[in-house]
Amino acid sequence: MTTLTTWISSGTMQALGWALVHFLWQGAALAALCAVAMTLFRRPSVRYLIGISCLALMLLAPIVTFFFYTSPQLSSVVVRPSSPIMAAEPISPFRTQGSASQPVQARPLAAFPWLVEVWLLGVALFSLRSAGGFIVLACTRRKKSFAVEERVLQICYMLQDQFGIRRAVQYCESIYVQAPAVIGWFRPIVFLPASALTGLSEEQLTLVIAHELAHIRRFDAFFNLLQVSVETLLFYHPAIWWLNRRIRVEREQCCDEMAVTLCGNAIEYARALALMEEWRTVPSFAMAANRGPLSERIARLLGLSSSREGGRKVGIAGSVLFLAAALLAGNALLGMVYPKPTAYASVSPIRRLLQSAAPQKQPAPQSAPAPAPKPSAGQTAQRSEQPGNSQSYIDRMSAAGLSNLTADELISLKSQGVTPEYVREMHEIGLHPDADGFVGMKVQGVTPEYVKELSSLGFNPDVDQIVGMKVQGVRADYVRGLKEVGIQADADDIVGLKVQGVTPEYVRDLQAVGLKVDANDVVGLKVQGVTAAYVKGLREQGLNPDANDVVGMRVQGVTPEYIRDIRALGLNPSADEIVGMKVQGVTPEFIKALQAAGFKPSVDDVVSAKVQGITTEFVDMARKHGFQNLTIEKLIELKRLGILESRGEI
């Protein structure tokens, strides 16, 4: 089992692996059914509902499959042939040849640990992608925006009342988007770019705002969140991406219909869409008016036939063939998972009962053997492991305190070499894990001595923590070394420190340059590659940063040389100000250019000028217009209002 899947039990691994594999044909079948259904209907609202419903089924399918493989199978009552007493045992009616008491189960694949690991890595990567998209939205909300004009605001309020939207909606003019867009779930904001406010007529602008309010009225942001979640979890199936693309197309057409129904004049709206096709810069997770295929939307608005309409019959036929192929693939996969019944399974249950109830030949009586000397406890334990012992593995495990085990658990325990003595020793030192816990400890080589060693250091870890410490190679000398340098950490912190490669020597070097750290601080410093030499260089420049300041500066790429060059120009920023300057891309050359233009900027002036895009060329342009005694604040206002910029005729 690989590193990422060490914590997953064998039963859960098998169920998860089969759920991922089965979804290949399940997703294809659902996509084919959805394609047929969407082809039969012409209204975008109906097709959108079909698409969302199919997406929900795609999310539900692997979940149901997973629980199917983890739930107990239906059982029937059969009798052990070797027992003259009709003792019933629950097993599956399908058996393999040569194993009269072993139920047929889904065949696990050796590649399942790798398959699940690749899937987990993919989910992690796509989660980062989604998180990045949402961070962009959050940043866009926080970026500086302006209230729209009173005339535009009245149009927005009028449309909001006509839609019956009672939620608080904010309307802003933004320079960070080039097309109208809606951002936010519970408190949405409609961003209107200056290009839309100046480049569209009032009627076109009304239609565009109506389109954005239609997204809010339909709660499209929440359904888009569902789509992103499904894309993250089931990223490996092409049907997910195809269906999500179709859903987004139908969503835009639904909002187009609502906007035209409310305001009329589809021709003007089509013109507005054509104009906004040039303004496509907008966050990918936002609801924007210029989303979706432009030609299809305009053709539908103008009542023209599109290429999709002519291929409806071909689409239905292709979807049916695709559905049939998916079902055949699913049937073949199920046949591979569950083997066919053998000759023993073909025998009727009644006949098996009669055979088992038939009189058995009794062995001939033998004379009683001479009493043997009573064995010692060690001899008893050794004899219990020898072949031919009267007690079975199940009985000995039950005697050791591990009872009510399933067939899967017994197989896993026995395969990994978990003995009753191992279970008994773990119980004696206070650990009482379940079967999966014992398997995990045995796989990782956890011994009773190792657990006692951890307990002697003041830890009281649970099974998961013990396995984690063993996996990462945590030893007693490592923990003692950390305590000697003042790092007091619990079991989880120790694992995190070991994973990141934190050593007592690393902590000691940081303390030698005056940095006080705890367990959390040192992990963050190590992750960012902070060294004692780096901290020393910062202190040589007159800074006295704490651990958080050092991490922040390291993340943003602040170097001692950068600080030295900034201070050589007469500025004396603090640690937070240095990080802010670096984030905004302030360079020593930029400061020199401002000073050469006659300014004596402060740290705040430099950051503001950089954010607003003030350049030496812009300063020269302002002075050519006769402006004198300019300050950074006045330059920023001139830049923001576009007073010096020439605009073409609209």
pLDDT, tens digit, 9 for 90 and up, residues 32-66: 899 888 888 888 889 999 999 999 999 999 999 88
Range among 97-106, 134-143, 248-257, 451-460 with highest mean pLDDT value: 248-257
The burial of 521, by beta-carbon neighbours within 10 Å (0-12 exposed, 13-18 middle, 19 or more buried), is given as buried
Lowest model confidence (mean pLDDT) among 36-45, 140-149, 237-246, 300-309: 300-309
Confidence of residue 237 (pLDDT cuts 50, 70, 90): very high
Of residues 55 and 334, the one with the higher pLDDT is: 55
Predicted pLDDT at 87? 37
Does residue 457 sit within a domain?
A: yes
Question: Does the pLDDT value for residue 529 go beyond 50?
Answer: yes
Cβ atoms of 431 and 456 within 8 Å: the answer is no
Confidence of residue 102 (pLDDT cuts 50, 70, 90): very low
Predicted pLDDT at 506? 92
Confidence of residue 173 (pLDDT cuts 50, 70, 90): confident
Whole-angstrom Cα distance, residue 63 to residue 23? 10
Whole-angstrom Cα distance, residue 169 to residue 190? 7
Range among 81-85, 426-430, 638-642 with highest mean pLDDT value: 426-430
Task: Output the pTM of the full model.
Answer: 0.44
Q: Helix crossing, 238-263 with 10-40: angle to 10°?
A: 40
The CA-to-CA distance between both ends of the chain, in Å, stands at 66
**Mean pLDDT across 438-455:** 89
Question: Does the pLDDT value for residue 186 go beyond 70?
Answer: yes
Predicted pLDDT at 62? 93
Does residue 74 sit within a domain?
A: no
Predicted pLDDT at 558? 92
Of residues 145 and 224, the one with the higher pLDDT is: 224
Q: What is the pLDDT of residues 462-516, one digit of tens each?
A: 888 888 888 888 888 888 888 888 888 888 888 888 888 999 999 999 999 889 8
Predicted pLDDT at 509? 93
Does residue 514 sit within a domain?
A: no
Q: What is the mean pLDDT of the chain?
A: 76
Q: What is the pLDDT of residues 301-315, one digit of tens each?
A: 666 544 454 455 555
Does residue 238 sit within a domain?
A: no
Predicted pLDDT at 128? 87
**Mean pLDDT across 241-257:** 90
Does residue 592 sit within a domain?
A: yes
Does residue 213 sit within a domain?
A: no
Question: Does the pLDDT value for residue 288 go beyond 60?
Answer: no
Predicted pLDDT at 262? 84
> Apex CA 148: angle with CA 146 and CA 150, to 5°?
140
Lowest model confidence (mean pLDDT) among 23-27, 255-259, 584-588, 612-616: 612-616
Confidence of residue 247 (pLDDT cuts 50, 70, 90): very high
Question: Does the pLDDT value for residue 376 go beyond 50?
Answer: no
Predicted pLDDT at 495? 86
Q: Helix crossing, 519-527 with 491-499: angle to 10°?
A: 20
Confidence of residue 355 (pLDDT cuts 50, 70, 90): very low
Does residue 641 sit within a domain?
A: yes
Of residues 204 and 302, the one with the higher pLDDT is: 204
Confidence of residue 207 (pLDDT cuts 50, 70, 90): confident
Which domain does 442 fall in, by range? 401-471
Does residue 10 sit within a domain?
A: no
**Mean pLDDT across 91-98:** 39
Of 414, 446, 471, the position where a domain reaches its end is 471
Domain count, the chain: 2
Lowest model confidence (mean pLDDT) among 317-331, 398-412, 596-610, 620-634: 317-331
The burial of 648, by beta-carbon neighbours within 10 Å (0-12 exposed, 13-18 middle, 19 or more buried), is given as exposed
Of 426, 452, 471, the position where a domain reaches its end is 471
Whole-angstrom Cα distance, residue 256 to residue 214? 8
As given in the structure block, the two tokens for residue 400 are 């050791």
Question: Does the pLDDT value for residue 176 go beyond 60?
Answer: yes
Predicted pLDDT at 263? 83
Predicted pLDDT at 381? 41
Predicted pLDDT at 244? 92
Whole-angstrom Cα distance, residue 408 to residue 416? 12
Nearest in space to 24 (alpha carbons), one of 271, 236, 322: 236
Of residues 324 and 616, the one with the higher pLDDT is: 616
Confidence of residue 411 (pLDDT cuts 50, 70, 90): confident
Q: Helix crossing, 407-415 with 435-443: angle to 10°?
A: 20
Question: Does the pLDDT value for residue 142 go beyond 80?
Answer: no
Nearest in space to 542 (alpha carbons), one of 518, 522, 571: 571
Confidence of residue 385 (pLDDT cuts 50, 70, 90): very low
Predicted pLDDT at 384? 44
Whole-angstrom Cα distance, residue 257 to residue 43? 10
Predicted pLDDT at 447? 93
Question: Does the pLDDT value for residue 367 go beyond 60?
Answer: no
Question: Does the pLDDT value for residue 461 go beyond 50?
Answer: yes
Question: Does the pLDDT value for residue 77 go beyond 80?
Answer: no
What percent of the chain clears pLDDT 90, i.e. is strictly above it? Answer: 14
Question: Does the pLDDT value for residue 126 go beyond 80?
Answer: yes
Of 456, 471, 486, the position where a domain reaches its end is 471
**Mean pLDDT across 259-265:** 82
Do β-strands 145-147 and 170-174 pair in parallel, antiparallel, or remain unpaired? Answer: antiparallel
Predicted pLDDT at 190? 84
